[in-house]
Structure 1
Amino acid sequence: MNLKFTPATWLFPLLFVGVLWLVFGIEEFLNTTFVAFSLNPRTFTGLAGVVCAPFLHADIEHLANNSVALLALLTALMYFYRRLALKVVVIGILLSGIITWVIGRPSYHLGASSLIYVVASFLIFKGLQVQHYRLVALSFLVIFFYGSSIWYMFPTADAGISWEGHLSGFIAGLFLTKKYADYNPIIEPQYEWQRPDYDPSTDKFMQRFDENGNFVNPPPPEPEPEASPEFQIIYDFKPKKEESN
């Protein structure tokens, strides 16, 4: 399994969360609110919230809680599923928003928690689908930290919690797992810079690794260089003939 912690792994989550704080900061600076752009189910104007609602938050506590979860989950998504990460985020936002628009209560729904449920659901089910030990471990890790959040996908006494958005995000993440069922991060596709006739099985370097990327075939030790003979200097003096008187 070819995993690399590239700058994009942490840069994308930081930028995404940074946009959330930027929007909130603009609201505070202008002493206004963008609640009119939040999701209002089954209304024409509420359709704008399908895209805008994840970037809006009720207060700083709401934003801070979502930011911590997003940083952790988006980083895991970028690290283990970097080729699908942007698709999961974009499609997840749109799909969870549409479902919420259809099933939600007549109220304003806003916040990035629906995206949190999208990513958490995808990480859980995709890891169990691939059945690679690292991805399964990630699935159980997400369950351990966010498993209790399952109760917020059902109607609660707290009217301020959009359980419809949470449920929609969970459904969207499960749908994306099925949509990209053929994607296996263990088997990386050929890079564009590789020659069309490149065969990793004949590459001596690649033969040192198994199909999971584990190092199994160390290279043979290089032969020690032969000891060079000692460097000797031989002086050949010939006696000088004495000149006769």
Structure 2
Amino acid sequence: MHKTGIVPPLRLCFFMWLVFTIEFYLDVDLGYLGIYPREITGLVGVVMAPLLHGNFNHLASNTIPLLVLGGSLFFFFPAIATRVFLQAYFFTNVLVWIFGRPFYHIGASGLIYALASFLVFFGLFKQNFKSVIISAIVIFLYGGMAYGLLSFDERISWESHLMGAVVGLSTAYLMRRK
């Protein structure tokens, strides 16, 4: 176990809130820096999209799960946490850039889905006590996220949710022996 588990996700949340604060006080919308699929200019969103949020509720609803899931990853699995976190961040966004609908995809929910999916499936694949308990807790706390995979609200990037879940699942499978 690692005592600084919350620090990396806390840093990301700090930058999410900083970007939102800048947008608010300067009265600018940086949504155009999100992922715009299959356009070269949309590639900037692979890095920027998780830092951008449409409104306060969007930001707030991404902050707590990111801290809980990211903190759990870094706290309980410090040896693989950085690799898993970076793969979840970048691979999810690259897949959204390849397969997403043509509009600006913003927010950290793809990363959140990847982390939740990883923690659930890692426990199932690894089958040791600690991993299974963490998997069960994540299912209990965030099992309702599965409904986000089937969102029909055209303003919600279900592609980010789905790609995050796929990245989390595949990363858990590939890391099961680590």
**Bin of the TM-score, shorter chain as denominator length:** over 0.9
Does the alignment pair 1:134 with 2:130? yes
Q: Does 1:10 align with 2:6?
A: yes
- What secondary structure is seen at the aligned counterpart in 1 of 2:120? helix
Q: Of 150, 163, 169, which residue of structure 1 is paired with 2:164?
A: 169
User: Structure 1 regions of 5+ residues with no counterpart?
Assistant: 184-245
**Residue 58 (structure 2) pairs with residue 70 (structure 1):** no
The structure that has the greater radius of gyration is 1
Unaligned runs of 5+ in 2: none
- Cα distance, 1:93 vs structure 2: 1.3
Q: Distance in 2 between matches of 1:54 and 1:129?
A: 28
The answer to whether residue 19 in structure 2 is matched with residue 29 in structure 1 is: no
- Provide, for residues 61-81 of structure 1, a one-character-per-residue CA deviation record: whole Å limited to 9, x for no partner: 100010011111011101111
Post-superposition offset of 1:178: 2.3
Cα distance between partner residues in 2 of 1:89 and 1:34: 24
Query: What letter corresponds to residue 149 of structure 2 in structure 1?
Result: M
Aligned with 1:61 (options 24, 49, 57): 57
- CA shift, 1:12, in A, is 2.1
Q: TM-score, normalised by structure 1?
A: 0.70
* Counterpart-to-counterpart distance in 1, 2:39 and 2:29: 20
Q: Secondary structure of 2:6's match?
A: helix
C-alpha distance in 2 between matches for 1:177 and 1:157: 28
Q: How far apart are 1:150 and its partner, in Å? A: 0.9
Find the aligned partners of 1:10 and 1:101 in 2 and give their Cα distance: 29
Shift of 1:127: 1.1
Corresponding letter in the other structure for 1:139 = S
Corresponding residue pairs, total = 178
Paired with 2:146 and 2:6, the residues of 1 have a C-alpha distance of 27
Q: Is the alpha carbon distance of 1:67 and 1:170 closer, same or farther for their aligned partners in structure 2, counting shifts above 3 Å?
A: same
2:119 matched residue in structure 1: 123
Percent of aligned pairs with the same residue? 39
CA distance in 1, matches of 2:23, 2:16: 11
The CA deviation string for residues 38-57 of structure 1, in whole angstroms up to 9 with x for no partner, is 00111111111111101100
SS in 2 for 1:170: helix
For 1:202, the equivalent position in structure 2 comes to: none
RMSD over aligned Cα atoms: 1.2
User: Structure with the greater relative contact order (CA < 8 A, sep ≥ 6): 1 or 2?
Assistant: 2
C-alpha distance in 2 between matches for 1:28 and 1:51:
21
Q: Does 1:143 align with 2:139?
A: yes
Tell me which residue corresponds to 2:47.
51
How far does residue 86 in structure 1 lie from its aligned partner after superposition?
1.4
Normalising by structure 2, we get a TM-score of 0.95
Tell me how far apart the structure 1 counterparts of residues 127 and 139 of structure 2 sit (CA, whole Å). Answer: 16
Give the aligned residue type for 1:170: A
* Paired residue type of 2:29: T
Name the structure 2 match of 1:226: none
1:182 aligns with 2:151: no
| CA–CA distance in structure 1, aligned partners of residues 43 and 9 of structure 2 | 26
